[in-house]
A and B are shown apart, each in its own frame.
Chain A
Amino acid sequence: MHVHEKPTFESNYTVQGGNFDEAGKVASQIKVILKKLGLQTDVVRKAALVAYESEINIVSYARKGTISISVTPGQVKIETTDEGQGIPDINLAMQEGYSTATSKIREMGFGAGMGLCNIKKFSDYFQITSEIGKGTHLKMIINIENGV
């Protein structure tokens, strides 16, 4: 695979649980940065989407969290770590349609139980670990395929 020289980028963002006014801001910022780096539209879109779904989950279900992103010539890596209730049954949470979202969250259009499925679907690599009462950790990789 022919790899073009691309500036490597790395950054961390904090996300506050429960703050729906700001929810999605980090993902928006990530999208702008990836676009500026000149990545393909599809990579940008997948990365922004994955970041957005994870950010919304942190805001919805955790006290606080961080989203970190690192871009190398071959891939975009996004990791999220949060402090919160954790996920008791990951298999269940990964099932489409399963959701513990409150009615407030549902009224905003979230809580369809599709977010984690979306994250998995749009990532080339996806890993989720969680500890009850502590928090949840996600790792997602989106490959950058150079050339046509």
Chain B
Amino acid sequence: MTLNEVIEILDADVLVGQDQLEMEVKTAFGADLMSDVLAFAKSGSLLLTGLTNPQVIRTSDILDIAAIIMVRGKKPAPETIRLAEELRIPVLSTKYILFETAGRLYEKGIKGCVERVDNNFARS
């Protein structure tokens, strides 16, 4: 599905990446622990998180995360926005909690990504 559809499902606001909403996404990862994201999230996935600090953007950049969805209506600090703009990572904000956000996306066909880099490596 496209980010535009994600926005509709989650009634989300676009904080960064207004020009990237045609992007296709198929998988998602939800977590509040950056090391957990680093160990398990797959590139090209959506990252669902309750965090809003600039490290979320850094972590996403390291992993080539497709787009970030900040949950619970939390609005990030200006530094976070600035960094996401600089690195061209779309950031959406939804008022739903992480559980509900995951549930709604799952219901519409988004799959979880649990693969480790090791596995990807073995496959490629």
Contact = CB atoms under 8 A, between A and B. Distances in A.
Interface residues of B, number: 27
Interface in B34-83: 34-36, 38-39, 43, 49, 51, 53-56, 58-59, 61-64, 79
A135 B117 CA distance: 30
A114 B117 contact: no
A109 B35 CA distance: 8
Given A23-B55, A24-B62, A122-B117, A52 B38 contact: yes
Interface in A100-133: 107-110, 112-115, 117-118, 121-122
Interface residues of A, number: 29
Contacts of B43: 41, 45
A130 B34 CA distance: 24
A109 B38 contact: no
A48 B55 contact: no
A133 to B, nearest CB: 26
B22 interface: no
Report whether over half of chain B's contact residues are helix, strand or loop; otherwise say mixed.
helix
A110 B117 contact: no
Contact of B117 (A24, A46, A117): A46
B63 A49 contact: yes
A89 interface: no
A114 B35 contact: yes
B33 interface: yes
A112 B62 contact: no
A48 B64 CA distance: 11
Interface of A: 20-21, 23-25, 27-28, 31, 41-42, 45-46, 48-49, 52-53, 56, 107-110, 112-115, 117-118, 121-122
